[in-house]
Amino acid sequence: MNHDYEYTPGNAFTKWLDKRLPLIRFADENLLSFPTPRNLNYFWTFGFILTLCLVTQIITGIVLAMHYTPHVLMAFDSIEHIMRDVNYGWLIRYIHANGASMFFLAVFIHMFRGLYYGSYKEPREILWILGVVIFLLMIITAFMGYVLVWGQMSFWGATVITNLVGAIPLVGESILTLLLGGFSVDNPTLNRFFSLHYLLPFVIFGVVILHIWALHVTGNNNPTGISVKNTNDTISFHPYYTVKDLFAYVVFLLMFAYFIFYNPNILGHPDNYIEADAMVTPAHIVPEWYLLPFYAILRAVPDKLMGVLLMFGSIVVLFFLPWLDTMKVKSARYRPTYKIFYFTFLLTCFLLGYLGGQAPEGLYLFLSRVCTIYYFAFFLVVMPILSRYEKPSPMPIGISNSAINTDLGTDKNPALSINN
Amino acid sequence: MTNKTKEKKPTRRDFLYITTAVFGATGAAAVAWPLIDQLNPDASVSALSSVETDISSIPEGGSLKIAWRGKPVFIRRRTKEEIEIAEKEDNENLPDPQNDADRVKNKEWLVVVGVCTHLGCIPIADKGDFGGWFCPCHGSHYDISGRIRKGPAPTNLEVPPYEFVNENIIKIG
Amino acid sequence: MRLTQAIIILLTIVFFSNNQNLLASGDETFKNLKPNFSFEGPFGKFDRESLKRGYQVYSEVCSSCHGMKQLSFRNLSQPGGPEFSINKVKEIASEYFILDGSDEYGDPIERSRVPSDRFQPPFDNKDAAKASNNGAYPPDLSLIVKARSDGANYIYSLLSGYEEPMPESMHIDESLSYNPWFSGSAIAMAQPLYDEMVEYDDGTIASISQMSYDVANFLAWAAEPTMEERKSLGLIVMGFLFIFLILMFFSVRRLFKDVH
């Protein structure tokens, strides 16, 4: 990025430190004075929100692990112990449980933002791919965490999902046994899920650091999709975006707090307040809401193996996005045709989410199939074709030209003057 | 960072920012409390912080060992002779001087935490040179008032907080 | 962009409201009755007298088949619950017995329960429970209100719903009872409550609907004894966040005044 400003240590100590471990310089360049496009809208606040979501989950998770017992005979009761006896245990557990939902809500918005504004396009391919890796890790972590509750839905969800592995020809059964540590979901499964559920968030944290690193190499995309040309186009991250992101986070927190304090169980399933019983299957097995679209794709296919492959494929396809959509124009703002397909796709995903919760029969099954076909067609057919034939609408020359009046030009880079 | 635009007087703008920052910092600090408080004993542990025991069945000279906060507590119903000895020995050369009267609420009943003050072993009743307890780990001798008389232990056996709820029930903790 | 945002928000609302229905739907033909519990809503609190009566119904009627293993007697005196006095709780607990430890011969010692002990389970294990109940397992009631959608209303409807006449077209096994609120309408639990079955300490007339209401109240509390704490803390947090939101809003506006 165009740095024409450099960090200069102010006092003797910071000078001393700067020569040995340029920690403050690092923070300054990457957080405080990092040049950020001046025209970012509120959809760009979700990266910040997601970082805080991860931190919240890790902190509350560590606390919960202090009181939780990963054993089939005690897991369910130990969670009730947290809810009833531990000081503020109910609060911490509700934050963690609803926090997972909030995390996914934010990540979906974050991803659809990237999809709308072409944030995955050159030069941000690695940035996007790292994001998909994080998303994948999130799904695995969330799934394992849900099992730890050891309610009916935990147990049967785990049974159904791990059984998908059994669909792999020849070695499926052996892998399944290896995964479960037995012939069905039982204590060894619970123990390893607990171990991995504790580990994976830190892996996610590591990938998040890479994700942010990649972001800081290429710089932010912006709503116009036009590259930053000079310092007129940018403002310093702090205070502008720290404050704006924080504002968005408070809005987010208000919604989060509503769920925690006034409707903490609405996003969960009542059956998960029944202790796991290997001899009784619940009437309907449904995953948490954020996995419903994938569940719908799984069940849309009559063949078990094909269903599994399509479900995984629905995420794998995201890795190839930068090479499926090769259109130079990034933002959907200037792509009228893409915009229509984009919103149809958004609608399809909502519909898949709804269908994932319905019994796979009749009209529901038919719609699931139509939606699944469109889901893949959007990436594999629509994107490549539009890349070749779509005519973009007229675009402004630069970010500043379209966004602000020219009087402000006296200030070369506001980061210089406003930052303290 | 350069400080060219530093303003001399606080303006309304600063006031808004400062208020917001203070508010935010207060909120962040408040979040810490549940995270700290969860480390404190939970309700099921606190519920066991005091125990009530029926002592009516203990004969004179007999004793009862009960668990209180994960530690043994000795409740001993002392005979007249034992009380006399304990009071007489107030004048002995005690490593941790304390009168017997200060160690009991009712002369008949001695209530002490059964953990040797040396390294935490549990002393054995009616053993040792002083008619009280003897700790087998490193040879500490306690008398009938639970006072250390001989051996490496530095202090007398601890007297837990307790009260007599009525004639038959003692509440420890 | 405004339009997009509006569409997204709308879709989100539709999605969640659908999801809610989805989770709440069973194959019940009857809609749950709504006796309007005092604990509903953001400021809702439990009706202490009703909780006390509810405990009485539980202990005199339900507890002969249904356990409540997550509850301890001490819970009955804690704030936000029935709030019995500590002495009353000691008295209640002492009516039950528990095997605790063994004597010098290795024989189990039986003592009466104290407030820190759990409620006494009606059966030693699941099989014993089934054997005494025609093969049907009476579920533990500690979490029943959270384990059923629209839990409290459902419990109320179910308990007071045995009087409904059975449609003539329907035939059920004679060991079962007809109850339209139960999934499948045929329930293994025989009608548990009859008018004046218990004699309330406070003189309230124990009609079926009164007892159903009280016990549903009690079970709702038992499923989440920290509900009042949660809602009152929620009020503080939401209030704080709301003021902070306003401050942040103006801060952002002022900060970006020169940018756009």
Judged by DSSP in three states, A86 sits in: coil
User: Which residues, numbered 234 to 253 in chain C, qualify as contacts with chain A under a Cβ-Cβ cut-off of 8 Å?
Assistant: 234-235, 237-238, 241-242, 244-245, 248-249, 251-252
Chain C residue with minimum CA distance to A81: C70
Report the residue of B7, B11, B16 to disrupt the C interface, i.e. the one with the largest count of C CBs within 10 Å.
Answer: B16
Here the tokens at position A291 are 């996995």
Bond prior to A322 in cis (omega within 30° of 0): no
Closest Cα in chain B, distance from residue A417 (Å): 6
Domain encompassing residue C59: 46-71+118-227
Distance CA B158, CA B98 (A): 12
What local confidence, expressed as pLDDT, does residue A411 receive?
Answer: 34
Strands B131-135 and B140-143: antiparallel
Would the CB atoms of C23 and A270 count as touching at under 8 Å?
A: yes
B12 has a pLDDT exceeding 60: yes
- Total domain count for chain C? 1
Distance CA B41, CA A205 (A): 31
Q: What angle do CA A147, A148, A153 make, to 5 degrees?
A: 40
Domains, chain B:
46-172 (2.102.10.10)
**A419 pLDDT tier (thresholds 50, 70, 90):** very low
Here the tokens at position B30 are 């408040």
pLDDT tens by residue, C203-219: 999 999 999 999 999 99
What local confidence, expressed as pLDDT, does residue A29 receive?
Answer: 87
Q: Is residue C234 part of a domain?
A: no
What local confidence, expressed as pLDDT, does residue C7 receive?
Answer: 63
How far is C-alpha B38 from the geometric centre of its chain's CA atoms? 22
Catalytic positions of B, written as ranges:
138
Distance CA A121, CA A124 (A): 5
Extract the runs of DSSP E, i.e. beta strands, from A207-273.
234-236
Would the CB atoms of B38 and A59 count as touching at under 8 Å?
A: no
Q: How many residue contacts between B and C have a Cβ separation below 8 Å?
A: 32
**A343 pLDDT tier (thresholds 50, 70, 90):** very high
| DSSP structural state of residue A41 | -
What local confidence, expressed as pLDDT, does residue C23 receive?
Answer: 43
B128 has a pLDDT exceeding 70: yes
Q: Is residue C135 part of a domain?
A: yes
Residue-wise burial string across A195-228, b where 16 or more C-beta atoms lie within 10 A, e elsewhere = eebbebbeebeeebeebbebbbebbbbbbbbbeb
Would the CB atoms of C223 and A358 count as touching at under 8 Å?
A: no
Q: Is residue C215 part of a domain?
A: yes
Q: Is residue C178 part of a domain?
A: yes
Judged by DSSP in three states, A280 sits in: coil
**B126 pLDDT tier (thresholds 50, 70, 90):** confident
The answer to whether B106 faces chain C, any CB pair under 8 Å, is no
**C52 pLDDT tier (thresholds 50, 70, 90):** very high
Q: What angle do CA B88, B72, B162 make, to 5 degrees?
A: 65
Closest Cα in chain B, distance from residue C259 (Å): 16
Would the CB atoms of A88 and B37 count as touching at under 8 Å?
A: yes
Q: At which residue do the structure tokens 């396809």 appear?
A: A317
Distance CA A193, CA A150 (A): 11
What local confidence, expressed as pLDDT, does residue C16 receive?
Answer: 56
Would the CB atoms of B40 and A416 count as touching at under 8 Å?
A: no
Asked if residues A144 and A126 have their Cβ atoms less than 8 Å apart, the reply is no
Q: Is residue C154 part of a domain?
A: yes
Would the CB atoms of B24 and A92 count as touching at under 8 Å?
A: no
Rg (CA), chain C: 24
Asked if residues C129 and C69 have their Cβ atoms less than 8 Å apart, the reply is no
The answer to whether A299 faces chain C, any CB pair under 8 Å, is no
The answer to whether A121 faces chain C, any CB pair under 8 Å, is no
pLDDT tens by residue, C162-205: 988 888 888 888 889 999 999 888 999 999 999 999 999 999 99
Enumerate the residues of chain C whose CB falls inside 8 A of the CB of residue A358. Answer: 22
ipTM of the complex: 0.89
pLDDT tens by residue, A159-201: 999 999 888 889 999 999 999 999 999 999 999 999 999 999 9
H helix count then E strand count, chain B: 3, 10
Asked if residues B125 and B63 have their Cβ atoms less than 8 Å apart, the reply is yes
Contacts of C211 (CB under 8 A, 6+ apart): C53, C57, C61, C159, C193, C197, C198
What local confidence, expressed as pLDDT, does residue C22 receive?
Answer: 43
**C230 pLDDT tier (thresholds 50, 70, 90):** very high
Picking from B38, B40, B44, the nearest residue to A81 by CB comes out as B44
Burial level of B40, CB count in 10 A (0-12/13-18/19+)? exposed
> Of C255, C8, C10, nearest to A245 (Cα)?
C255
Q: Is residue C102 part of a domain?
A: no
C13 has a pLDDT exceeding 80: no
Asked if residues B100 and B88 have their Cβ atoms less than 8 Å apart, the reply is no
Judged by DSSP in three states, A268 sits in: coil
**C17 pLDDT tier (thresholds 50, 70, 90):** low
Residue-wise burial string across C140-176, b where 16 or more C-beta atoms lie within 10 A, e elsewhere = bbbbbbbbbbbbbbbbbbbbbbbeeeeeeeeeeeeeb
Closest Cα in chain A, distance from residue C199 (Å): 31
Q: Is residue C128 part of a domain?
A: yes
User: Which residues, numbered 24 to 63 in chain C, qualify as contacts with chain B under a Cβ-Cβ cut-off of 8 Å?
Assistant: none
Q: How far is CA A20 from CA A16, A23, A114, B88, C189, in A?
A: 7, 9, 38, 71, 75
Asked if residues C78 and C61 have their Cβ atoms less than 8 Å apart, the reply is no
Judged by DSSP in three states, C108 sits in: strand
What local confidence, expressed as pLDDT, does residue C11 receive?
Answer: 62
Q: What share of chain C is helix, strand, coil (3-state, %, to 5)?
A: 45, 5, 45
pLDDT tens by residue, C34-43: 999 999 999 9
Contacts of A279 (CB under 8 A, 6+ apart): none
Would the CB atoms of A87 and B6 count as touching at under 8 Å?
A: no
Distance CA A345, CA A371 (A): 9
pLDDT tens by residue, A80-106: 999 999 999 999 999 999 999 999 999
What local confidence, expressed as pLDDT, does residue C1 receive?
Answer: 53
Chain C residue with minimum CA distance to B31: C237
Beta bridge partners of B54: B169
> Of C139, C146, C102, nearest to C121 (Cα)?
C139
CATH of the domain at C138: 1.10.760.10
Percent of chain A scored above 90 by pLDDT?
Answer: 84
The answer to whether C99 faces chain B, any CB pair under 8 Å, is no
The answer to whether A398 faces chain C, any CB pair under 8 Å, is no
Here the tokens at position C101 are 């430890």
End-to-end CA gap in chain C:
17
Q: How far is CA A319 from CA A100, A134, B36, B68, C142, in A?
A: 23, 12, 42, 60, 47
Asked if residues B42 and A89 have their Cβ atoms less than 8 Å apart, the reply is yes
Rg (CA), chain B: 27
Mean pLDDT calculated for residue range B18-24? 93
pLDDT tens by residue, A297-327: 999 999 989 999 999 999 999 999 999 999 9
Enumerate the residues of chain C whose CB falls inside 8 A of the CB of residue B44. Answer: 72, 116
A410: left (phi over 0), alpha (psi -120 to 50) or beta: alpha
Q: How many residue contacts between A and C have a Cβ separation below 8 Å?
A: 116
Enumerate the residues of chain C whose CB falls inside 8 A of the CB of residue B23. Answer: 243-244, 247
Report the residue of C1, C17, C23, C78 to disrupt the A interface, i.e. the one with the largest count of A CBs within 10 Å.
Answer: C23
Q: How far is CA C123 from CA C67, C92, C139, in A?
A: 8, 19, 12
Q: Is residue C219 part of a domain?
A: yes
Chain C residue with minimum CA distance to B14: C251
Asked if residues C114 and B53 have their Cβ atoms less than 8 Å apart, the reply is no
What local confidence, expressed as pLDDT, does residue B3 receive?
Answer: 44
- Note the helical H segments in A75-151: 75-84, 89-117, 125-148
Distance CA A203, CA B97 (A): 60
Distance CA A328, CA A254 (A): 39
| DSSP structural state of residue B18 | H
Q: How far is CA B170 from CA B50, B55, B111, C37, C152, in A?
A: 10, 7, 10, 43, 42
Burial level of A233, CB count in 10 A (0-12/13-18/19+)? buried
> Of A97, A108, A143, A141, nearest to A268 (Cα)?
A97
Distance CA A243, CA C250 (A): 11
